[in-house]
Amino acid sequence: MVIFSGLQFIFRFLPIFLLVYYLVPAKFRNGVLLVGSLVFYASGVPEFVILLIILTVINWWFGCKISMARRSMSRMDSMLKDDVGDIYDAGPGGRLLRRVETRRQLTHHHAVVFLVVLVVLNAGVLTACKILALTVDSKLLPLGMSFYIFKMISFIADCYTGKITKPQTFINTAAYFTMFPQVTQGPIMRFDEKYWETKGKTAFQAERFEKGIFCFIIGLCLKVLLADRIGILWNEIDKIGFESISTPLAWLGAYGYSFELYFDFFGYSLMAAGLGMMLGFPFVENFHHPYASDGVAKFYRDWHVTLGAWFRDYIYFPLGGSHCSKKKNIRNLLIVWLITGLWHGGTLNFVIWGLVLGLIIIWEKFVMKGPMEKFKVIGHFHVMVLIPLTWVIFAIPDLGQLGLYFTRLFPFSGNSGTAGNVDPGDVLRYLNIYWPLFAASAILCVPATYRAIEKLYKKAVGKILLVALFWVAVYYMTISSSNAFMYFSF
């Protein structure tokens, strides 16, 4: 049930949830969302729902504490500011102000301690689970933890910086942490105070709901009709063994995997954003046509936007960002990309993946800046050639196998197919099957396509088409769930 592109979610959980959500009075909706989300999460991993609740309670409680400290600090600040002239005056007033200043420092100290403890606790739990998953059993990393922990850290940090101005109710905070559209795979939406407070008072918004359905259908189709199907090519390559694929097939595989990853996650994010809109939340953009970017740095501002922004706001900027010496800037970039790599997975290939991206971005920023501004084609080349190669690193955890794949991509680097028996016609065999999916993928990387889709959506024929596409996707979902041979026919 925890997968949006599943029959149980679409035809069981979602309709029932929406009915309850909109039938109860508006002020109870966040509560319904919390309960529904916990049911949703428990249906996937009942053993870890307790951990989610415990972390939710701790983060909410300390978030309140930090917010309260923040508030009394600002109260004291204004007291100090008003009487700034008199601080060092002798007499009872001056002593009071000095006491206020000490209190303020103490409160600030408390807030810092709370912040540090909470960040360390959150990051520690996540790291511990990731290490356990890597060394003991992959089941020990609770579903969605990488995402909800990041939400919790951002919540705590926003309480500290004052972006969240006052202590929040438990229901709102908990619903924010656990909300089912985001709990398994993001997007890492920020806590928008005004929104959560007024939400209980707003009525059902038909247009937003409708737009949510639209996003959900597009996302569902991208995932089920495109990503899941083009993804079979990578399985095929795995089946053949990297030592036996021809160089053209190796490249086709790299692009196939890149498309699978993009449309799987983009599709998922659209579904999540659509669900959010159905519940009355604003649209959360997680992908902004990354493959149309003119550079890797830009690519990663447009790819998994909420994660990139999280790293920017909570790691890169606190480290000093780019407002510091060149040397420090390079260090900051490498730190951020190393952590990004580790966040995606604990094996060495993810570290390499992160560092390679960091280096490419440093290269673009400090060496290629001039040429890239002059010739846009360089940046596009980076995105269209280097990015798929980095996804290959992302895809293959075994370094020996990874090296092997690269010798197939670049056959002049030593052993070119001597280990395996290569079928030189393999790429044609697979292109014969997969070319429509590759063509569709390429078209769907172009921003204009989405403008056309939105235009079409406004017309009746577009809506009919969308409904039809939805049922085609349901057809594929149905036969793949009841027939194991759809994707695995041998």
Place of tokens 């951020």: 336
Residue type at position 277: M
Which CB sits closer to another protein, 83 or 210? Answer: 210
Give the nearest distance from C-beta 425 to another protein in angstroms: 9
Which CB sits closer to another protein, 325 or 416? Answer: 416
Count Cβ neighbours within 10 Å for each residue of 397-409 and write b for 16 or more, e otherwise.
Answer: eeeebbebbbbbb
Which CB sits closer to another protein, 16 or 442? Answer: 16
Among 1, 49, 179, 445, binds another protein (CB under 8 A): 1
Cα 372 from Cα 363, distance rounded (Å): 11
Residue type at position 90: A
243 binds another protein (CB under 8 A): yes
Which CB sits closer to another protein, 124 or 424? Answer: 424
469 binds another protein (CB under 8 A): no
Helix (H, G, I), strand (E, B) or coil at 279: coil
Number of residues that bind another protein (CB under 8 A): 46
Give the nearest distance from C-beta 376 to another protein in angstroms: 38
Residue 479 has which token pair? 């036969």
For 191, residues 6+ apart whose C-beta sits below 8 A from its C-beta are 151, 154, 155, 158, 164, 168, 173, 176
Among 3, 7, 53, 58, binds another protein (CB under 8 A): 7
Query: How big, in percent rounded to 5, are the helix, strand and coil portions of the chain?
Result: 80, 0, 20
Contacts of another protein in 166-205 (CB under 8 A): 204
Which CB sits closer to another protein, 1 or 227? Answer: 1
483 binds another protein (CB under 8 A): yes
Among 213, 335, 384, 431, binds another protein (CB under 8 A): 213
Cα 433 from Cα 100, distance rounded (Å): 74
The answer to whether 205 touches 280, Cβ cutoff 8 Å, is: yes
Give the nearest distance from C-beta 415 to another protein in angstroms: 13
The answer to whether 303 touches 445, Cβ cutoff 8 Å, is: no
Applying CB under 8 A, which part among 66-74, 155-163, 210-218, 442-450 lies near another protein? 210-218
List the one residue out of 402, 312, 413, 407 whose CA is nearest residue 351.
Answer: 402
Among 138, 207, 374, 432, binds another protein (CB under 8 A): 207
The answer to whether 358 touches 329, Cβ cutoff 8 Å, is: no
Among 72, 165, 244, 449, binds another protein (CB under 8 A): 244
Residue 114 has which token pair? 């709370």
Which CB sits closer to another protein, 389 or 466? Answer: 466
Applying CB under 8 A, which part among 159-167, 175-183, 366-374, 472-480 lies near another protein? 472-480
The answer to whether 219 touches 185, Cβ cutoff 8 Å, is: no
466 binds another protein (CB under 8 A): yes
Residues that bind another protein (CB under 8 A): 1, 7-8, 11-12, 204, 206-207, 209-210, 213-214, 217, 235, 238-241, 243-245, 419-423, 426, 460, 463-464, 466-467, 470-471, 474-475, 478-479, 481-485, 488-490
